[in-house]
Structure 1
Amino acid sequence: MALSLDLTDKKTRSTLSANQFMDQRPTLVGLTREQMGEALREAGVADKQVRMRTQQLWHWLYIRGVDDFDLMSNLGKDLRALLKEKFTIAGPEVVEEQISVDGTCKWLMRFPSRGAGAPVEIETVYIPEEGRGTLCVSSQVGCTLTCTFCHTGTQKLVRNLTSGEIVAQVILARKRLGDFPDLDTPAGAIVPSEGRKVTNIVMMGMGEPLYNYDNVRDAMNVFSDGDGLSLSKRRVTLSTSGVVPNIIKIGEETGAMLAISLHAVNDELRDVLVPINKKYPLEQLLDACRNYPGLSNARRITFEYVMLKGVNDSLADAKELVRLLKGIPSKINLIPFNKWPGSDYECSDWDKIEEFADFINANGYASPIRTPRGQDILAACGQLKSESERMKKTERLAYEAMMIAGHGD
């Protein structure tokens, strides 16, 4: 049975939201080193100290996981007071934590308002696997893309997340999972990479990352900074539905791995499943993939392909997929469709998925079938949706009944 924890009662939740609404201090989380240095300079830190102070803050935020200036013991009292007056480093409020029967964790996070806007909520998912742990990070509240098989796509876009809100998801997950060293360990201690639970990050949560380009780019470069969160660029993947003008650019500016939400092998069907295809059709998308920086057999592009019964799962589709991807170092992830209330699609039969995979593998492409994870807490691919757009109780009960009956595979 899945475990769901509502971590704030109504009274606490309303107090937190009110306090956060009034706190309009800018955050230091998610800034690049250059941006942080400029913020400190504008706050009154002496120019000759800016570089050192930036490095100290970087260490406390990303190696130690500290969210309170008073805990930064190597900063003077006056400087800590200045930082508290001018900035915040507080993380989001965790409204709900759900733990699947398979160990997948999903957090509903609430971020404070920006300007006159209201607080917003997003979901972040952690997927534990043997030898690795992947964190699925959101880039937007809602989504502008109305992909017909995706639950997130039924929620209208509220706004982009800031780089700080994107990075904060990683910090929070690492705290909840125990990835940061205890504060009583030596100041220079760093948790070894093999001991971390969050080893990989995928920008595959709510939203289209390349429609929030600047914030996503800055956040991804914070992820891979060797003196901070220190994730290898080969362990950070951005997934896009096909915002062609920004694909090569994000590769040049971050060095991240690329995943493409493909799902169809012709423009006619992809126009329906992934409507952005009407703006950037397959020929343009695949040309951008062929020119992706650093592309090689060691740095392959992942093509994601959701298996929809009677829609895109024929052997003819598999043959056309192989033809389309010829010459592109690729891996093809086959994703059994994860059912959600209101969807008109069904998952392909398992023997059909295996036949599809066997043909692709026989033609020289790795084609793993993704094991559905977190289905019982709506944490699987295509199921994320924020609390402000949560399903009605009757819909949730219907979904749970469907899962119990075994029809959610």
Structure 2
Amino acid sequence: MNLIGLTRSELTTVLSHMGEKPFRARQVWHWIYFRGATDFDQMSTLSKDLRGRLAAEHTLGRPTVSREQTAQDGTRKWLLRFADGKEAEAVHIPEDGRGAVCVSSQVGCTLTCRFCHTGTQMLVRNLDPAEVVGQFMVARDSYGEWPTPTDETRRLSNVVLMGMGEPLFNVDNVAKAVSILSDGEGLALSRRRITLSTSGVVPMIERCGREMGINLAVSLHAATDEVRSEIMPINRKYPLDQLMAALRAYPGVSNARRITLEYVMLKGVNDSDADARALIRLVQGLPCKFNLIPFNPWPGAPYECTPMRQIERFADILANAGLTAPIRMPRGRDILAACGQLKSESERERLQGYRARLATMTAEERAAAEAEHGRAIGTGTL
């Protein structure tokens, strides 16, 4: 059993079954999440006998790093491989000495939003709590940020569930991961420093606020059902009237804790002055702020980015109506770490390499390779 990903009560139960008293679980928790221990032998406050028994029966399994890249602007991206061979990506976005770690909640995605390259991949499976929390721990490893620093000194100051997948389609595992991330005796992230981004899974929004108590961001991207349903198929199931009602009822929403509305700027699609005015009407009375996101193009993308002059005009219209609407400049584009680009490049490179190898094979070798390729896809080793 992997001890990473267990809640504190679950870890206490594990130690109890080993004949240990509850305070031992607190010590192990401290070593895992405060000290960042990767080996039971590092847990010097435990007896040698207990360390040996833990090592014989349990692991401290993090995702392994298949590739780490750092962009010119300092953005760092990790391609992470899990125990079954599946992969997802996490990104650190630095900002004035601090920054957010963007983590994935699923391998692949089921939403097929037309502007998102990540959405061109099939959903493979949900990530479990260990795999979600493990992404943040790998980032801590990369920056050497152990033991857990104070809020004033930590570089990895925030977590955003904005990577691959829809977090509210994996709400049980995500809620468990949030409880581990926010535990004050471990990773110690304030829930006000954790943000979940959803495409608008209306039935789960209230539960997110009630059980997790974290910040909410919503991929809005259009002011009308007609446009939103075209670029985000989920809107056909949960249209804007239902979504906005759920946001207005979000537990804890206030002017001090506003909902973030993400809005990708697509040339000729959702970027007119009329669209901006429609947004103002749509969000009337909702404590919210906008993030205007210049579209991050990718090969074969069906859209273009709105010219910056029009994005600025769009932002001014919202600002003149009293809405906060900063333009979120793309980060990590040179390593495909920007919004909507995660994982696609690694998959494409792997497929290109596979096709190149096929070209050098005989017909018999190619048939065998293609059969093996199919098995690898099915078992997740590719």
TM-score norm. by structure 1 comes to 0.84
- 2:239 and 2:12 map into 1 onto residues whose CA distance is 42
Query: What is residue 264 of structure 2 aligned with on the other side?
Result: 306
Query: What is residue 121 of structure 1 aligned with on the other side?
Result: 87
Q: How far off its partner does 1:227 sit?
A: 1.1
Secondary structure of 1:221's counterpart equals helix
Query: What is residue 38 of structure 1 aligned with on the other side?
Result: 13
Q: How far off its partner does 1:131 sit?
A: 4.5
1:389 pairs with 2:347: yes
Runs of 4 or more consecutive aligned structure 1 residues displaced over 2 Å after TM superposition: 38-42, 386-394
1:95 pairs with 2:62: no
2:117–2:344 contact (8 Å) kept in structure 1? no
Query: What is residue 18 of structure 1 aligned with on the other side?
Result: none
Number of paired residues? 352
Secondary structure of 1:106's counterpart equals strand
1:93–1:109 contact (8 Å) kept in structure 2? yes
Q: 2:48 aligns with which of 77, 93, 105?
A: 77
Q: 1:292 aligns with which of 237, 250, 254?
A: 250
1:28 pairs with 2:32: no
> What 5-or-longer segments of structure 1 have no aligned partner?
1-25, 114-118, 182-189, 395-409
2:273–2:314 contact (8 Å) kept in structure 1? yes
1:237–1:259 contact (8 Å) kept in structure 2? yes
2:82–2:131 contact (8 Å) kept in structure 1? yes
Q: 2:321 aligns with which of 355, 363, 371?
A: 363
2:62–2:130 contact (8 Å) kept in structure 1? no
- 1:315 and 1:353 map into 2 onto residues whose CA distance is 10
Secondary structure of 2:30's counterpart equals helix
> How big is each residue's C-alpha offset from its partner over 1:113-147, in whole Å with a ceiling of 9 and x where there is no partner?
2xxxxx11110000001152110000000001100
1:156 pairs with 2:122: yes
Query: What is residue 8 of structure 1 aligned with on the other side?
Result: none
Letter in 2 for 1:36: L
Q: How far off its partner does 1:52 sit?
A: 0.9
1:108–1:386 contact (8 Å) kept in structure 2? no
- 2:251 and 2:90 map into 1 onto residues whose CA distance is 28
Q: How far off its partner does 1:214 sit?
A: 0.6
2:12–2:25 contact (8 Å) kept in structure 1? yes
- 1:367 and 1:338 map into 2 onto residues whose CA distance is 18
> How big is each residue's C-alpha offset from its partner over 1:13-57, in whole Å with a ceiling of 9 and x where there is no partner?
xxxxxxxxxxxxx21112111122223334x234xx0x2122111
1:282 pairs with 2:222: no
- 2:300 and 2:110 map into 1 onto residues whose CA distance is 19
> How big is each residue's C-alpha offset from its partner over 1:364-386, in whole Å with a ceiling of 9 and x where there is no partner?
11100001100000000000026
Letter in 2 for 1:55: R
- 1:98 and 1:270 map into 2 onto residues whose CA distance is 34
Q: How far off its partner does 1:388 sit?
A: 6.3
- 2:179 and 2:281 map into 1 onto residues whose CA distance is 35
Query: What is residue 187 of structure 1 aligned with on the other side?
Result: none
Label 1:386 to 1:77 Cα distance change in 2 as closer, same or farther (>3 A).
Answer: farther
Letter in 2 for 1:121: E
1:331–1:366 contact (8 Å) kept in structure 2? yes
- 2:280 and 2:140 map into 1 onto residues whose CA distance is 39
TM-score norm. by structure 2 comes to 0.90
1:247-396 → structure 2 map (5 Å cutoff): 247-385=205-343, 389-391=347-349
Letter in 1 for 2:258: R
Q: 1:139 aligns with which of 99, 105, 111?
A: 105
- 2:23 and 2:348 map into 1 onto residues whose CA distance is 45
Query: What is residue 112 of structure 1 aligned with on the other side?
Result: 83
Q: How far off its partner does 1:220 sit?
A: 0.9
1:122–1:387 contact (8 Å) kept in structure 2? no
- 1:244 and 1:35 map into 2 onto residues whose CA distance is 30
The percent of aligned pairs where both chains have the same amino acid is: 58
Secondary structure of 1:311's counterpart equals coil
- 1:45 and 1:107 map into 2 onto residues whose CA distance is 39
Q: How far off its partner does 1:90 sit?
A: 2.4
> What 5-or-longer segments of structure 2 have no aligned partner?
354-382
Query: What is residue 168 of structure 2 aligned with on the other side?
Result: 210
Query: What is residue 33 of structure 2 aligned with on the other side?
Result: 62
1:121–1:386 contact (8 Å) kept in structure 2? no
Q: How far off its partner does 1:70 sit?
A: 0.8
> How big is each residue's C-alpha offset from its partner over 1:48-97, in whole Å with a ceiling of 9 and x where there is no partner?
x0x21221111111111111111100111221122112211121111111
Q: How far off its partner does 1:393 sit?
A: 5.2
Letter in 2 for 1:342: G
- 2:345 and 2:323 map into 1 onto residues whose CA distance is 39
Secondary structure of 2:229's counterpart equals helix
1:265–1:320 contact (8 Å) kept in structure 2? yes
Report the RMSD for the aligned CA atoms in angstroms.
Answer: 1.4
Q: 2:182 aligns with which of 202, 224, 227?
A: 224
Q: How far off its partner does 1:271 sit?
A: 1.0
Q: 2:141 aligns with which of 172, 175, 179?
A: 175
